[in-house]
Structure 1
Amino acid sequence: MRKEEKEILKKKIEDDIAKLKVQIAALEEKTRPITPDCSLGRLTRLEAMGEQHVNNRVLDESKLRLIRLQNALLRIDKPVFGICIKCDDPIGFERMKIRPESIRCVECAGNR
């Protein structure tokens, strides 16, 4: 992978990390426990609990992606960055622009 491509990916990773941190903070606010003394009707409380469940799932996935992006940022200057861990072929730059934390090429990721 060329140095210019790595610089583009490094900027993308840093931007994605910043966005994820904001998203995680907002989701943590939304996933606070619903207090029983809150004056919600039974159906409204169930809807709120359902929404909270969805937000918890998104929060977990966001935290996982944040960790992967931070790891990618640590690896970006190493020779293994952008190389598939399964087949040792280069991961396409277009894929890396979309998911810079990728550690598998499209073919190997599809065969998982």
Structure 2
Amino acid sequence: MTQKEKDTIKEKIIQEIASLETQIETLQEKVKPIAPDCSLGRLTRLEAMGEQHVNNKILDESRTRLTRLKNALLRIDKPMFGICIECEEEIGVGRMTVRPESVRCVECANNL
């Protein structure tokens, strides 16, 4: 992987971290507990609780991806960045551009 490709990936990581941090802030507001005395009807309350459950799942996944992206940012200048941890072959630049937190090539990831 060339330095120019790493620089492009680094910029993408920084942009995605900023985007995820904003998304996490928004989701934290949406997952606050629903007060039992809230004047929602029974069905509306159930819908709100269902939506809250979905938002909690998205929040958890966003936090996990944020952690992985921050770790990728720490690793990007190291020689093993972009090398599969399973087969030790280079991970394609296309995959690293789309999922810069990847530590496995497509083939090894599919074998899991």
TM-score range, shorter chain: over 0.9
Deviation at 1:37, TM superposition (A): 1.4
Paired residue for 2:39?
39
Distance 2:27 2:103 in 1: 27
Distance 1:48 1:69 in 2: 31
Distance 1:48 1:9 in 2: 38
Task: Report the TM-score when normalising by structure 1.
Answer: 0.99
Q: How many residues are aligned here? A: 112
Deviation at 1:74, TM superposition (A): 0.1
Task: Report the TM-score when normalising by structure 2.
Answer: 0.99
CA RMSD of aligned residues (A): 0.3
Distance 1:111 1:27 in 2: 33
Distance 1:37 1:91 in 2: 53
The gaps in structure 1 that reach 5 residues or longer are none
Paired residue for 1:65?
65
Residue pairs, 1:79-94, within 5 angstroms: 79-94=79-94
